[in-house]
């Protein structure tokens, strides 16, 4: 958007005293670190208590400018939607909202041991859905959920698929990527990248890998299960430690490697190094990891949930698994990783599939949505008696 001459300001909560109040991400994009609560990460249960402080910081930033400085608000996730709702009325500008995940959907597909989202979040989401001028859904499935479960106005819901940075996530040398990550060139690499929490189901990959070794014991010296990510949400109580214990109990501790969250080119190297990237989530509004991996030329095996059937072209760029059963996952992973011809076909198709989801395409769709939101907001204001 900045490259198209649109000024963007991002408001986010400061998590360190070393973060400057305002920083330029790239020309045309400012990031404002709002002090709201302690300078440290907070759990999702603790964040709602900081809504007042965060809202105050957002409103103060606008107060230093002439009225009309901000032309539109795009909030992401329900907490930001609550802030955007108040700022919308204060500033007299339209509100566009993207939920990313929905409590009612998550609660209908909980992983074993995961805690349901609280009623306060459900109520907060319902309020934002009611107040937003436009709602951006990642897929038609999510659009239907907003309408069916939250009573959203169908005319206000716009489907915009997320985009991938195709300059960063692109095909590259698998052997070079493995060398940089310290992986054997002839290894069979199954990778997971994402938050370490029950919703993302990294344990499904470990169970599947153990099952695969039962079926193919000759792979014991070649198999590498690469788990990349850090704890988040309900995973903060357990984190990677639980996965390490699970790997030990399954007898695959030697085959499993853990890496902290990676960003930028390092994450692309992880994708390139893998034979297959697994996305076994219990729910995904879209599944950007799946697209990023495919953009790097790596096939994906994903759960057939949420937006993943859009992110992955089943039977062409990867496979969708209709359950979280370890045997089904072991079969799917092996059918790609251990079949060079099939993997090569999937890899070529994966790159073509991912190219349909560029940043440029997403920007075009979002700008169209912003125009629709502005028109809707103007029409609504014209109906209000003076």
pLDDT digits (tens, 9 = 90+) for 188-220: 999 999 999 898 999 999 999 999 999 999 999
Extract the tokens encoding 229. 């990510």
- Report the b/e string of 368-379 with b at 16+ CB within 10 A: ebbebbbebbee
pLDDT of residue 239: 55
pLDDT at 114: 80
69 is in an annotated binding site: no
Instruction: Provide the strand spans (E) within the chain.
Output: 8-13, 22-26, 29-34, 73-76, 95-98, 134-137, 157-159, 188-193, 223-228, 256-259, 276-279, 300-303, 318-321
| Residue 233 clears pLDDT 90, i.e. is over it | no
Candidates 162, 189, 197; CA nearest to 291 is 162
6 φ/ψ angles, rounded to the nearest 5 degrees: -105, 120
Is 201 annotated to bind a ligand? Reply is no
Given a cut of 70, whether residue 82 has pLDDT beyond it is yes
Q: Residue 237 pLDDT more than 70?
A: no
Cα–Cα separations (whole angstroms), residue 283 to 105, 144, 178, 279: 8, 15, 30, 10
292 annotated to a ligand binding site:
yes
Nearest partner of 20 among 8, 36, 31, judged by Cα: 31
150 is in an annotated binding site: no
Radius of gyration of the chain (CA): 22
- Give the pLDDT confidence score for residue 113 in this predicted structure: 74
Q: Is 313 annotated as a binding residue?
A: no
Encode pLDDT of 36-76 as tens digits. Answer: 999 998 888 899 999 999 999 999 999 999 999 999 999 99
For 339-372, how does the pLDDT look when each residue is reduced to its tens digit (9 = 90+)?
A: 999 999 999 999 999 999 999 999 999 999 999 9
Residues in a beta bridge with 30 = 9, 24
As a whole number, the mean pLDDT across the chain is 94
62 annotated ligand binder? no
CB atoms within 10 A of CB 138: 23
For 6-28, what is each residue's pLDDT tens digit?
A: 999 999 999 999 999 999 999 99
44 annotated as belonging to a binding site for a ligand: yes
Establish whether 381 is an annotated binding residue: no
Average pLDDT over residues 104-125: 90
Residue 262 assigned as binding residue:
yes
Across the beta sheet with 223-228, what order do the strands follow? 256-259, 223-228, 188-193, 276-279, 300-303, 318-321
200 annotated as ligand-binding: yes
Extract the tokens encoding 15.
């998590």
255 pLDDT higher than 60:
yes
The whole-number pLDDT of residue 385 equals 62
Please state at what angle helix 240-250 crosses helix 202-215, rounded to 10 degrees: 10
Question: What's the whole-number mean pLDDT along residues 164-187?
Answer: 96
Query: For the residues 85-114, what does the mean pLDDT come to?
Result: 92
Choose among 290, 286, 255, 247: nearest CA to 271: 290
185 is in an annotated binding site: no
Question: Max CA-CA distance within the chain?
Answer: 78
101 is in an annotated binding site: yes
Task: Report the alpha-carbon distance of residue 138 to residue 72 in Å, rounded.
Answer: 20
Ligand-binding site membership of 55 (annotated): no
Mean pLDDT of 312-320: 98
Q: Whose CA is closest to 137, among 82, 85, 90, 96? A: 96
């Amino acid at each position: 958007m900045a490259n198209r001459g649109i000024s963007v300001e991002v408001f986010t909560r400061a998590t360190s005293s070393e973060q400057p109040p305002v920083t330029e991400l790239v020309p045309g994009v400012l990031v404002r670190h709002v002090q709201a609560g302690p300078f440290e990460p907070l759990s999702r249960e603790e964040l709602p208590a900081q809504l007042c402080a965060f809202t105050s910081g957002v409103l103060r930033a606008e107060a230093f400018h002439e009225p009309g400085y901000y032309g539109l608000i795009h909030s992401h996730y329900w907490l930001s939607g609550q802030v955007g709702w108040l700022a919308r009325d204060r500033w007299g500008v339209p509100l566009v909202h993207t939920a990313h995940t929905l409590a009612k959907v998550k609660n209908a597909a909980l992983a074993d041991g995961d805690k349901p989202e609280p009623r306060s979040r459900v109520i907060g989401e319902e309020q934002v859905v009611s107040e937003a001028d436009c709602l951006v859904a990642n897929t038609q499935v999510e659009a239907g959920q907003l309408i069916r479960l939250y009573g959203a106005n169908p005319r206000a819901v716009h489907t915009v698929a997320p985009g991938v940075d195709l300059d960063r996530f692109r095909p590259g040398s698998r052997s070079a990527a493995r060398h940089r990550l310290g992986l054997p060139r002839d290894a069979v690499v199954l990778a997971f990248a994402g938050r370490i929490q029950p919703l993302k189901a990294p344990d499904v990959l470990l169970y599947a890998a153990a099952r695969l070794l039962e079926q193919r014991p000759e792979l014991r010296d070649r198999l590498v299960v690469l788990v990349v990510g850090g704890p988040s949400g309900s995973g903060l109580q357990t984190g990677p430690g639980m996965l390490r214990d699970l790997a030990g109990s399954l007898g695959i501790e030697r085959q499993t490697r853990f890496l902290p969250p990676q960003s930028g080119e390092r994450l692309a190297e992880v994708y390139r190094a893998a034979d297959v990237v697994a996305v076994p989530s219990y729910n995904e509004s879209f599944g950007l990891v799946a697209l990023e991996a495919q953009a790097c030329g790596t096939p994906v095996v994903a759960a057939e949930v949420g937006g993943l059937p859009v992110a992955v072209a089943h039977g062409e760029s990867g496979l969708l698994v209709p359950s979280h059963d370890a045997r089904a996952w072991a079969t799917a992973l092996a059918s790609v990783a251990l079949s060079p011809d099939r993997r090569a076909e999937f890899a070529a198709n994966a790159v073509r599939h991912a190219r349909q989801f560029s940043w440029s395409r997403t920007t075009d769709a979002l700008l169209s949505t912003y125009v629709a939101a502005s028109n809707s907001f103007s029409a609504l204001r014209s109906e209000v008696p003076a």
